[in-house]
Amino acid sequence: MVTSPAAVGERVRTLRLAANISQSDLVHALTGRDEPSNKLVSQIENGRQPIDDFLLSALASALRCSPDFLTRPRHDAVATRPWLRAYADANARDVDSIMADDLIVHEAISTLRLKQIPDQIPLFDGDPNDDDAIEHFADEVRSAADIDPSGVVGNAMRAADRLGCVVLPLTSELGRHLGMSHRIDGTPFVRISRPNTNESGVPGDRQRFTVAHELGHLGLHSDILPPDTAADARRIERQAHRFASAFLAPAQPLIEDWERLGGRVTLSTLASLKAIWGIAIKALVVRFQQLGIVDADQATSLYKQISKRGWNKCEPVPTSHEQPIWLQRAVDHRLRTEPGTQNAVTTAALLTGLNEQMIARWLDWTPVRPQVVGETIPLAGRSHRRSSPAQNEILGEVISLADKRR
């Protein structure tokens, strides 16, 4: 088999990063042993290691893909960086893992010929430091998402679907972030945390706000590079927060509801407004401060009352969690299966050369157990399909040769 080592190496690296595993983990999966050197994997990923049929098969088994997936032509796609401060705001390994996984999703969508919704997110051309301009832009994005000017955003994730976003689950927090967004060849990708099974997990109102926040980044900051400094990061985060507040709770209809409820900013009133608009009580305090209805002292008093009632950890009026529908429906339609069945996942895995677990993960929005720090997705070689002693000996010789070539 004639295979470009560089092309295979690039795919090996992408799959390894998507699985969030180290080079030493991959060596262990290939050999069943803890090797003192990671040079073999490094040379494979850099295109400096010849790939014979045995090594190709071993890599495919360890990475849970077909050999054909590793030998396909390069998937040339340009991905923008997320608006995170040079990895200071999130773990670099986690960010790289998500970006690699998004690239695989992008290729799978192309391979399966899924019918995508074109990017409908308007691009902001005003001054991002002008709050009024952001408020007007939020109205523009609501209109693009087919949301009534005075209406509640019924489902933020499905609004993102309608705007052409590929919305995928994020199973762990990115530092203090619950979401991440960027574009791949012009397609907006949005990652949003799934709810956890524990009571302190991500509440539905925060999930909705995170979706709107990421839409803000995609619209407001399309021509802005990721921030280099903490001050720049705070500035663009504040802009995305302002957008999210205006997108979920536009000023005029929110004020009308507040006046109808008595025109006083009390915790009871805020709880009633949360039930209508699906936005957290603390976020509503910020919103009323943005609109000049409460001042800094009043906001501080409200925060103290919220804390005294224990609402910092668990607010009243719970908001249900949401999930997107485009990707699941597109896969079901393309593969002519009943919605929600495993047949679509199985067929998609066969057509893409990926494993069913990976594809099912992109579609799974069920609550997850809290992730253990340092936990990674296991490779095939750690639990089953280990190489035979003879194969281990061959791989050991390959590692030795790789070390000598350094």
Higher-confidence residue of 40 and 1: namely 40
Mean predicted confidence (pLDDT) in 213-227: 96
- Name, of 17-21, 160-164, 222-226, the range with top average pLDDT: 160-164
Higher-confidence residue of 70 and 399: namely 70
Residue 392 scores a pLDDT above 60? no
Residue 223 scores a pLDDT above 90? yes
∠ CA 14-20-24 to the nearest 5 degrees?
90
Q: Give the pLDDT confidence score for residue 171 in this predicted structure.
A: 72
Which of these, 136, 139, 162, 160, lies nearest to 150 by C-alpha position? 139
Higher-confidence residue of 335 and 63: namely 63
Cα distance between residue 290 and residue 375, in whole Å: 40
- CATH fold of 1-64+379-406 reads 434 Repressor (Amino-terminal Domain) (1.10.260)
Q: Give the pLDDT confidence score for residue 1 in this predicted structure.
A: 44
Q: Are 279 and 249 in contact (CB under 8 A)?
A: yes
Q: Give the pLDDT confidence score for residue 76 in this predicted structure.
A: 86
Residue 197 scores a pLDDT above 60? no
Q: Are 205 and 195 in contact (CB under 8 A)?
A: no
Six-digit token string for 375 = 């936990």
73-82, 180-189, 292-301: least confident range: 73-82
* Entry pTM: 0.88
* CA 279 to mean position of chain CA atoms: 21
Which of these, 354, 341, 337, 333, lies nearest to 117 by C-alpha position? 333
Six-digit token string for 133 = 């301009």
Q: Give the pLDDT confidence score for residue 88 in this predicted structure.
A: 75
92 confidence band (pLDDT: 50, 70, 90)? confident
Q: Which residues pair with 179 in a beta bridge?
A: 192
Cα distance between residue 162 and residue 403, in whole Å: 52
93-107, 134-148, 375-389: least confident range: 375-389
Q: Give the pLDDT confidence score for residue 337 in this predicted structure.
A: 65
Mean predicted confidence (pLDDT) in 109-138: 96
374 confidence band (pLDDT: 50, 70, 90)? very low
Higher-confidence residue of 313 and 187: namely 187
Q: Give the pLDDT confidence score for residue 367 in this predicted structure.
A: 80
Q: Are 104 and 14 in contact (CB under 8 A)?
A: yes
Cα distance between residue 136 and residue 248, in whole Å: 13
Burial string for 353-371 (b: 16+ CB within 10 Å, else e) reads: bbbeebbebbbbbeebeee
Which of these, 108, 90, 86, 129, lies nearest to 14 by C-alpha position? 108
Q: Give the pLDDT confidence score for residue 31 in this predicted structure.
A: 79
Q: Give the pLDDT confidence score for residue 16 in this predicted structure.
A: 95
Mean predicted confidence (pLDDT) in 15-31: 89
Residue 296 scores a pLDDT above 80? yes
Mean predicted confidence (pLDDT) in 236-243: 97
∠ CA 258-161-341 to the nearest 5 degrees?
120
Q: Give the pLDDT confidence score for residue 195 in this predicted structure.
A: 77
Cα distance between residue 74 and residue 14, in whole Å: 11
